[in-house]
Structures are given as structure tokens and as C-alpha cells.
């Protein structure tokens, strides 16, 4: 292996609602970060992103986001991605149940 790879999840926004969604192992979209497929190598990450891009009738703007393995599944690394799992902090309007 060359460079250290940070594990990733594929994330996007749902076409109809705009909700933050994540790609599961089965190739479906989930609203729960913990249910995302945690991708451990660069090649798979590229392939899964292409797969997500092919689902352009379901989602908008898929991209890879850093994640780590947690107790109950993948957890976000960066605070931006953490906010995306929760919804805004000024109202209890998170689309994903906390």
C-alpha cells in the first residue's frame, strides 16, 4: 500500500426532499450515518462513488466523506459531516432522527 487511506462513506442529498443520505453496502440510500458502508480502500471508494453517480435520479451531488468505525457503525470525522447527520442546531429540525 502506498499512502494511508482514510475510510470513507458515500454521501449525497435526496432528490425529492434534499435530506442528507448515505450509501449502504446493498446500494440503497439511508438517512442514518451509522448504516452507511464504511469503505476501507481507495479503489473501492472510487467504484462506489461511480455507482452512486449512476443513481442520479435518486440523489444530488454524491461525494466521499471521511469517516471512522464507531461502536454502532461509521461515524463522521469532520464537524461539517457531523452537522449533516444532525440537522441545524437552532431547531429540532433534524431530518434524521437523533
Partner 1 sequence: MYAYTDFDRDFLAERNAQFRAQVERRIDGSLTEDEFKPLRLMNGLYLQLHAYMLRVAIPYGTLNAGQMRQLAMIADRWDKGYGHFTTRQNIQYNWPQLRDVPDMLDALGEVGMHAIQTSGNTIRNVTADHFAGAAAEEVADPRPVAELIRQWSTDHPEFQFLPRKFKVAVTGSDQDRAVTAAHDIGLRLVERHGRLGATVLVGGGLGRTPMIGKVLSDYVALDDLLPYLEAVVAVYNLLGRRDNKYKARIKITVHENGIEEIRRLVDAEFAPRKAAFNGADMALLDKIKADFAAPDFTPGAGDFQAHYTDDPVFRSFVDTNTVAHKHRDYAILTVSLKAHGATPGDATSDQMRVLADLAETYAHDELRISHEQNVILPHMPKRHLRAVFDALSQAGLGTANIGLASDIIACPGMDYCALATARSIPVAQEIATRFEELKLEHAVGPLKIKISGCINACGHHHVGHIGILGLDRAGVENYQITLGGDGGPDAVIGERAGPGFAYDEVVDAVERLVRAYLDLRDHADETFLDTYKRLGATPFKAALYPEVKAHAA
Provide the binding-site residues for partner 1, judged by CB under 8 A.
13, 15-20, 56-57, 60-61, 77-80, 83-84, 87-91, 93-95
Q: Determine the 3-state secondary structure of 98 from DSSP.
A: coil
Cα–Cα nearest to 49, from 15, 78, 10: 10
Q: Cell match 463522521: residue?
A: 76
C-beta closer to partner 1: residue 57 or 71:
57
Smallest distance from partner 1 to CB 43, Å = 26
Q: Do you know the residue count of the chain?
A: 98
Smallest distance from partner 1 to CB 13, Å = 6
Amino acid at each position: 500500500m502506498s499512502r494511508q487511506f482514510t475510510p470513507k462513506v458515500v454521501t449525497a442529498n435526496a432528490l425529492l426532499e434534499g435530506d442528507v443520505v448515505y450509501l449502504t453496502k446493498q446500494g440503497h440510500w439511508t438517512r442514518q450515518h451509522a448504516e452507511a458502508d464504511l469503505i476501507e480502500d481507495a479503489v473501492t471508494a472510487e467504484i462506489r462513488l461511480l455507482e452512486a453517480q449512476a443513481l442520479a435520479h435518486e440523489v444530488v451531488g454524491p461525494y466521499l466523506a471521511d469517516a471512522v468505525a464507531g461502536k454502532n457503525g461509521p461515524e463522521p470525522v469532520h464537524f461539517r459531516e457531523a452537522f449533516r447527520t444532525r440537522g441545524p442546531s437552532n431547531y429540532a429540525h433534524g431530518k434524521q432522527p437523533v
